[in-house]
Structure 1
Amino acid sequence: MIDEKFVAQRIEFRNSERHSLFLKVGGLPVHEVTLYLGKFRNKGRAANSIHFVCSCLTILYRELQEACVDLLERLSTGQFLTTQKLDRLVTAARYRSEDLEDESVEAKTNVIDIRRIGVRRSQNSAERQPLDAQIYASRL
C-alpha cells in the first residue's frame, strides 16, 4: 500500500463560508470522504461539526493505512474488520492525533538521531493523556 498522509483542512471563502476538506497531503481530496461530508452539509450541520467528522475520518484513514487495510476493497467484498483491527481503531480514537503521529514516526525506524535524545526523554516522561470521554465517544 502506498504511504500517504491524510489531513483535515479548513478553508474559508471570500463570502465567509467555511468548508472542511479531507485531503491526501500534497494531493487532491479523497472522493468517497468528500461525498460522505456532503451528506452532513446537505443536512445543514454547522461548519465545526463537519470539521470534527473530517478530523475523525483522518484518524480512521491513518490507522487503516498503518494496518495495511483497504477499506473500500473490504466493503466491496463484504469483509468485516478483525477484532485486532477494531481494537487498534478504538485505541487511536482515545488519544490526540498529534500523540499518534509521534508514535508512528518512532516505530518506523530503528535509527535514533543523537540530537533528539534529550527531546525524546522529555516527551516520554510526559505520557499521552487520553481525551475526554465525550470526545472519545463521538469519535467512536
Structure 2
Amino acid sequence: MEIGVKLREIRNELRLTQEQVAASVHVSRQTISSWENGHSYPDIISVLLLSELYNVSVDTLLKEDPKMTSFLKESTDTVKSNRRILYGMGLNLLLIILMFFFEAVKGLAFLLFILIAVNGAILFYNFVRKI
C-alpha cells in the first residue's frame, strides 16, 4: 500500500484533520494533502513525527511502499550527492579549459560557454538543495 493512502486512512481512523496533523508535524495543510494524494513524500523527520502522532511504527509507514523507500534512499545518500557535485565541478573545469584552447573557433567557444553556464546552474541548484 502506498504511504499516502496509509497516512490518509490512519488520520481518518484517528479522526484528525489535515490541519491538526500539519500543526503536529510542522508543515502546511497543503503538504499533508500532497503526501496523502501521492504528489510528494514526507522527509524522514516528518515520517518519525507522523509515526509518533499516529502511534504506528516507522516500518509500518515505510516498508510497504517501495517508491517511498527509494525516495528516502535517494534523498539521504549524501555520498552520491557529493560525488555528483564533484563530477559536475570537474566537468565545468574541463569545459573551461577546452574553451580557452578553442578560443579561436568562435562557434565552438560559444557552445562551450553555454555548456559551462548550464552546468554551473545545475551545480548551483545542487548546492542550494544541500543547504
TM range (shorter): under 0.3
Alignment TM-score, normalising by the size of structure 1: 0.26
TM-score under structure 2 length normalisation:
0.27
Flag the structure with larger Rg.
2
